Amino acid sequence: DTAVSQTPKYLVTQMGNDKSIKCEQNLGHDTMYWYKQDSKKFLKIMFSYNNKELIINETVPNRFSPKSPDKAHLNLHINSLELGDSAVYFCASSQGRKAFFGQGTRLTVV
């Protein structure tokens, strides 16, 4: 049973398009996150949601918007995709101070 699952695993799209990445966790955790991993493997937090409330919004362009329909889901919507958005995006969830990650979505903007 996958604890944190993301879809799709790979996403190739053209500049200017709008796309979404879905994330679901079956761990019953209260907090979910989105992280971005760049080409040098550096991981940086983008957002976190706690009980449907946005807790952190780092210096992320407003083209990125997290949407949480319920505690088990946190989707990432990206508008007007740019070449620099190409990266691996990870969803994670936590209860307390341990965070568990999904397998990632490799986004390639061409």
Q: Using CB under 8 A as the criterion, which residues of the chain lie in contact with other proteins when the complex forms?
A: 4, 30-31, 33, 35, 40-45, 48, 50, 55-56, 90, 92, 94-104
**What are the distances in angstroms from CA 15 to CA 10, 18, 84?**
16, 9, 10
CB 33 → other proteins: shortest distance, Å? 6
Of residues 14 and 40, the one with the C-beta less far from other proteins: 40
CB 16 → other proteins: shortest distance, Å? 28
Tokens 């991993």 found at? 37
CB 107 → other proteins: shortest distance, Å? 14
Q: Tokens standing for 42? A: 């550096």
Of residues 18 and 38, the one with the C-beta less far from other proteins: 38
Of residues 48 and 68, the one with the C-beta less far from other proteins: 48
**What are the distances in angstroms from CA 21 to CA 86, 98, 106, 107?**
13, 23, 10, 9
Q: Which residues, 6+ apart, have CB-to-CB distance to 48 below 8 Å?
A: 31, 32, 33, 34, 54, 55, 56
Of residues 31 and 75, the one with the C-beta less far from other proteins: 31
